[in-house]
Amino acid sequence: MESSPQAAELPPPPVHVAIIMDGNGRWARSRGLPRTAGHKRGAESVRRTVEAAREMGVSYLTLYGFSSENWKRPASEIADLMGLLRLYLRNEIANLHKNGIRLKVIGERSRLGPDIVRLIEEAESRTESNVALTLVLALSYGGRQEIVEAMRSVARSVASGELSPDIVDETVVGSHLFTSGIPDPDLIIRTSGEKRISNFLLWQGAYAELVFIETLWPDFGRAELETALRDFHRRDRRFGGAR
């Protein structure tokens, strides 16, 4: 698919775009449909957005697919979401690989089903050499939990004598996060009009630009991504420095 004229006018894209995909339930409810229908349409939006990000030249795209708090949802909804995840991992990986997209999953894998963990490992292994785009799926992920686990890992290294507490700095902490080796996001987008980050990339997003879009996730696509990138390029990023 060719890029739209609007996309051609965009400056170089941010290296790393992260998206909080929100609004599947509201999309379904507004149409008198079960929440499952919203999640299914949301999966189609994932496909569109990944394709658009790759074509626009984004290097890293992180999608908040399932938070650690989402485990509190009704068991039937969790089962539906896990079923969609299985389908995605089985059916989409060949397409990702064909398009040069690398898949990486971050989050607490121990809470996922063994078959899902196996599918994730197979998909990561199959696509690990791809360079067109790195797609990061945050599954069973929470920013606070990630930082806690990183601190535990650092503490173990200090206790064992492998690491001196005097050299623990931001770089050391970052190397113990799920996202080690991945640049921090330049832009975090949230759909559905909500204006909060919901425990997403708390450490990594310290200087990310935030864009909040009214569009519900199942309706999100290339046009909305372009709009967010235009907003990003209007920002004056000083990273705490003076104007």
Residues flagged as binding site for Mg(2+): 22, 209
Q: Cα-atom radius of gyration of the chain, to the nearest Å? A: 18
CB of 33 within 8 A of CB of 19? no
Active site residue 166: no
Residues annotated within a binding site? 22-27, 35, 39, 67-69, 71, 73, 190, 196-198, 209
Q: What is the CB neighbour count within 10 angstroms for residue 104?
A: 20
Catalytic residue among 70, 99, 130, 199: 70
Token pair of 20 as six digits? 């909080």
- Which residues in the chain belong to E strands, given as ranges? 16-20, 60-67, 101-106, 133-141, 187-190, 209-212
What is the distance between the alpha carbons of residues 32 and 18, in angstroms, rounded to a whole number? 30
Residue located via tokens 């996060």:
177
What is the distance between the alpha carbons of residues 217 and 235, in angstroms, rounded to a whole number? 24
Active site residue 169: no
Catalytic residue positions, numbered = 22, 70
